[in-house]
Chain A
């Protein structure tokens, strides 16, 4: 290897911003063997690895990095597989900077080790080489139903299958993967290349996935437990209905929720000529919100040929999106109108969006979240001309399961109440985790909840023997 500065991480290759702004191919190209090995050598293999504490699913991070140093992909893959069923996904979409990498000792004197990129490297290589982690657990002869095939459900199902349970996942949509397929765009998380093989790995553990089954409608939780012989149920049904601002004009034509815009594009593949679902994305789009979903929507609209403005009421520092996503969005040419808040969506006589009236904001005293509260600057209203508005303001829980399951408690926000450690709900034998419990959060937090629930479902069912 050439001389390298151990304080600096090995940069990862990316598609050129000008080029990628016009296609849906993956932005990040990942490490090759040489780069991955060089980066792995930066890991100090700490005796007390803080990085592992920072990982919601507790992957043995130094353990798999050691295997990369030894060029042992199968070994590295097996170390990760012990704790995570979705490494190629997590290596791409986890907020490592605030988790494992945020705790890395290297970070005190330079860049933390690129743990996410190394995890991705292992997962991608393992897939290309046809390496599949194998588990041959003793059969427990007990059935568990998992509702939802997103990150929480897949993780819970995978862990339970590894422990020897018969697991069936019930998925409402026609395709498994939850937010991984309907929410996160192709250019951040390729569907056929990355998501599907990881779902196939979960299936290879013996998990059955039934698509087109809506629990709460096609079947109830009670039927699963009483009539269909399931011994326990895990609810990982995800986030629900999109929120709107309640400002005038939100019903106008050309106003989307980010959920709708992304579902059309990702799940239904509206961006592809050979699929039927339409998407109307105009010449100029305003995305309202500053989270990861807002960035995904903005960068999708850009790729569909629109000029894109992100309107966010606080300043850049408060943007809830990952720094990497904001950086990528800017590189691609997305314009950020910060400290700006919508007042009204303007439409023509037919109801088509023609613009959005916004007001300038300034930051005042900190609010209960600890962030400085944005305050309107009087008289600073102006109009941004646009033909598409995408509202990326978060979601409220889906009522289908909670409203059809007797004795399942929900909180004030209508989220299912579940113990943070165990996932246990107010109903015996029913566990829950992920966005259905916490409200919109991240893939990895949902996975952590799925993992904890699998552990407590195992304990619960063992104690019943």
Chain B
């Protein structure tokens, strides 16, 4: 069992959990993910790692409740346990293994969308610790759905640019508008862009960075079952080749990812998931012969 040592709601339906999991904290690096299972009947859910503390043996997870299993996870509080936490999985971000002197010459642009802010956090933290330049754009629907603002600000300072779709906080508009502003109006130069967020956001970021000729890395979070390179559910087309997000990714060259296909595959369990969610939230009242 894996004990939760801290639990905090960050926004409506978005929660942060700090979990004791030495098997993961021992070796995890920015860019990797892990899988959790709430209880014996639960699904294996892939989540990106938001932070880790090797000395304490803990990892920090941030998730948005969408399906049955993540709704269950919303109820977890300090002192509760996950049945399983396993990882780290996937490859670490490329920069972790780069020559540090070479890396210091580069300028990074991070684009985080919604809960995608969580996996961006350990990356910028790592780059900050290693003295590498970066700017961070965080985009979210509105002020209420903004997460990790304080944490991000501590790391990024005035290199942080927040934008909301509805203009309720800081800048008004999509992340792509901020990229254009920084690059075209302010003339900022970048060598690499890292975009993590909803698939549709990544698709449009890549469309823009292609025009700007700015190499872009995206982090894919497709459906997974085991997460260890066995089931093949997480397959994606990258540069026309079949790749598995769990062992070949989760980070890929954004210019090569077939987003339209990946978005279709995300829809696979919509109906079945939605059905289970209804059963979960409405309980017995939903069951009735023949209405499925």
Contact = CB atoms under 8 A, between A and B. Distances in A.
Interface of A: 172-174, 182, 211-214, 217-219, 239-242, 244, 246, 250-251, 253-254, 256-257, 259-260, 263-264, 267-269, 274-280, 350-351, 398-400
Nearest to A257: B232
20 contacts: A174-B37, A174-B86, A213-B86, A214-B228, A217-B27, A217-B89, A241-B244, A244-B235, A251-B261, A253-B265, A256-B233, A257-B232, A259-B231, A263-B230, A269-B41, A276-B43, A277-B43, A278-B273, A351-B265, A398-B247
A419 to B, nearest CB: 25
Nearest to B41: A275
A399 B229 contact: yes
Contacts of B84: 174, 211-212
Contacts of A256: 233
B267 A350 contact: yes
SS class, residues of chain B in contact with chain A? mixed
A303 B226 CA distance: 23
B83 interface: yes
Contact of A172 (B228, B232, B268): B228
Given A211-B84, A218-B87, A251-B261, A280 B228 contact: no
B233 A260 contact: yes
Given A240-B230, A260-B231, A398-B247, A212 B267 contact: no
Contacts of A251: 235, 237, 261, 264-265
A213 B23 contact: yes
A254 B213 CA distance: 36
Q: Which of A172, A246, A256, A277 has the most CB of B within 10 A?
A: A277
Contacts of A280: 268-269, 271-272
Contact of B225 (A213, A254, A268): A268
A177 to B, nearest CB: 13
B230 A182 contact: yes
B229 A241 contact: yes
B11 interface: no
Contact of B87 (A211, A214, A240, A269): A214
Interface of B: 23-24, 26-27, 37, 41-44, 68-69, 72, 83-89, 225-226, 228-233, 235, 237, 242, 244, 247, 261, 264-265, 267-269, 271-273, 276
Contacts of B269: 278, 280
A66 to B, nearest CB: 42
Contacts of A278: 269, 272-273, 276
Given A173-B86, A274-B41, A351-B267, 4 more contacts: A217-B89, A218-B27, A242-B231, A251-B237
Contacts, number: 123
Q: Which of A172, A250, A274, A275 has the most CB of B within 10 A?
A: A172
Given A251-B235, A253-B265, A263-B226, A244 B86 contact: no
B232 A276 contact: no
B79 to A, nearest CB: 20
Contacts of A244: 232, 235, 242
A250 B43 CA distance: 25
Nearest to A347: B264
A172 B231 CA distance: 13
A434 to B, nearest CB: 14
A290 B267 CA distance: 30
Contacts of A399: 229, 247
A399 to B, nearest CB: 6
Nearest to B228: A172
Contact of A173 (B23, B68, B226, B267): B226
A306 to B, nearest CB: 15
A259 B69 CA distance: 22
A263 B247 contact: no
Contacts of A250: 242
Nearest to A172: B228
Nearest to A260: B231
Q: Which of B87, B233, B273 has the most CB of A within 10 A?
A: B233
B268 A253 contact: yes
Contacts of A274: 41
A275 B273 CA distance: 12
A400 B229 contact: yes
